Amino acid sequence: MSFLTVVSIAAGIMFGIGGLAAVARIIRGPSILDRALATDVLLAIAMCALGAEMAINQHTDTLVILLVLAMFAVVGSISIARFMAKQDVS
Amino acid sequence: MSLAEIAVGLLILVSAFLSMAAGIGIVRFPDVLTRLHAATKPQVLGLATILAAVVLRAPTWGVLTTAVLVMTFQLLTQPMTAHMLGRSAYRTSHVRRDLLIEDELGRDIAEHAEPEASDR
């Protein structure tokens, strides 16, 4: 087993723990702000995992996806935060 | 196993650890503002290290400029998201007041409160 194989297994486990924790917060989260925040974290973890896959397998096919996500990921959370009313507690 | 490969592996591990720390942080921290603190780690430093790993692995000018562009957009948009979420959490009382050491925004709001300022 080469060095990068070990790294990819360890990184996969850590990305998986982070993603599962974010999904747990999306399910449980007491307010809609917690859910928007956890969705952002899940997106960031997905971007990091895409980049890690690119670096390990030595290609740059999904770099454009990272660019589009970095440009437009802001829309969802900002619209939730901006148009949230005081009575929307969950 | 070359030196560049070891550097790429370490950068990937740093990013994966930050992602895991963010996940654990948003599960364990008590309210929205403290969870915001944990959430910004993989969004900025994790993405920066992973983009450095990609650039180290495929060192061409196209990859480098795209990586810089991705990081620029991320650094432009994520603070906006965090600011709006924190502001909305404060205005809709999703803040644990007993955990605050100093509430500067509340002081400013009380200072500038006027009778006709009821639109927000």
- B12 lies within 8 A of chain A by CB: yes
Domain A3-89 CATH (choose: 1.10.101, 1.10.287, 1.20.120, 2.60.40): 1.10.287
How much is the pTM?
0.88
* Contact map slice: B 54-73 vs A, CB within 8 A: 54, 56-58, 62-63, 66-67, 69-71, 73
Locate the domains of chain B by residue range: 3-119
Give the pLDDT confidence of B1-34 residue by residue, as tens digits. 788 889 999 999 999 999 999 999 999 988 888 8
The nearest alpha carbon in chain B to A21 belongs to B23
Residue of chain A whose alpha carbon sits nearest to that of B70:
A67
Q: Is B104 exposed, middle or buried (0-12, 13-18, 19+ CB in 10 A)?
A: exposed
Contacts of A12 in chain B (CB under 8 A): 16
Please list every residue in chain B whose beta carbon sits closer than 8 Å to the beta carbon of residue A55.
Answer: 8, 11-12, 50, 53-54, 56-57
d(CA A60, CA A54): 6
| Two structure tokens written together for B110 | 């009380």
Per-residue exposure over B40-78, b if at least 16 CB sit within 10 Å of its own CB, e if not: bbbbbebbbbbbbbbbebbeeeebeebbeebbebbeebb
Interface predicted TM-score of the whole assembly (ipTM), two decimals: 0.87
Domain spans of chain A, in order of start: 3-89
Question: What pLDDT, on the 0 to 100 scale, is given for residue A27?
Answer: 93
- CATH 1.10.287, domain B3-119, yes or no: yes
